[in-house]
Amino acid sequence: MALLSLNLFAQNAQSIVLKKKIEALLSGKKADVAVSISGAGKNDFIEINGGKLYPMLSTVKFPIALTVLSKVEHNELSMNQKIFIRKEELLENTWSPFKKEHPEGDISISLEEAMKWMISYSDNNLTDILLRLIGGTEQVQKFIAGKNFIIKNNEEDMHKDWDSQFVNKITPNEAVHLLKEFHKGKLLNKENTKWLYDTMVNNTTGGKRLKGKLPENINVAHRTGTSFTNEKGMTGAINDFGIIELPGKQKIYIAVFVHNTFESFEDSEKIIADISRLTYDFYLKK
């Protein structure tokens, strides 16, 4: 399913005001930052480095979820089917809230439960179990077709060495377009679109990123991604993309990728939060 690039959209004059504010915010930051933002209108769009490929990290769990749910719709899988989680599948030294709760494994859970562990809790072990269930990363690449999205490594592969975590990539423009196509119901049926949207709203990770400076009552359906930090103090990726709900049912589609940052982890997350707040205020007034 090839996705068109948002480069086809022109940036209108009002949006350029927001772009300049974001560029001023980024001035002097010791990081490679990419931003893509789209409102409801066809030309309501801005980008900063939006056409460049950036490492996804755990934001890749969103297209994985889309692929799994597509297979559910084609009756290849069922949300109620049971998946047996073997103890040896629960790897050490990886982010896995499921393993903390079920350290001995050897337990059956439903596909729906496994999906929630992946999307809402960003569990790496459950992500790889789901990838094996659907036939590997190739199935995700096939569903999200196009040169602006690359997936080759699963979570276990991503933890092999420093470079391996950066193999899976997407352009910020493609991430935003994917979010828009998803929310408009062009990728999944109404039931599964709502299920995944609600599960992303309940994401427990990245609370200081897109959601960090927004009012508490504002829903954000989002997916985060985070890399390791090397011995030089550089963090390879601190990402967040998602859909911000405004009063009146208006939606903002936004992706922020903070790449190769020498800012502190807290300040790097703050970059995302500040951009999100600028965007929220801009569209609220608009």
Provide φ and ψ at 126, rounded to 5°: -65, -30
Helix, strand and coil in the chain, % to nearest 5: 45, 20, 40
Active site residue 227: no
Angle between helix 124-134 and helix 111-119 axes, rounded to 10 deg:
130
Cα separation, 22 vs 90, whole angstroms: 41
CB 238 within 8 A of CB 256: no
Enter the tokens of residue 72: 């559910």
d(CA 185, CA 189): 6
47, 155, 174, 263: the active-site residue: 155
Please tell me the distance from the alpha carbon of residue 282 to that of residue 286, in angstroms, as a whole number: 6
User: Rounded to a whole number, what is the distance in angstroms from the first to the last CA of the chain?
Assistant: 34
Cα 69 from Cα 61, distance rounded (Å)? 12
For the question of residue 5 being annotated catalytic, the response is no
What are the residue ranges of helices labelled H in the chain? 13-26, 61-73, 97-101, 111-119, 124-134, 137-143, 155-158, 172-183, 190-201, 265-285
Side-chain half-sphere exposure of 87, counting CA atoms within 13 A? 3
Q: Please tell me which residue in 15, 36, 38, 58 is annotated as part of the active site.
A: 58
Look up tokens 């910020």; give the residue. 172
Q: Any idea which residues carry the catalytic annotation?
A: 58, 155
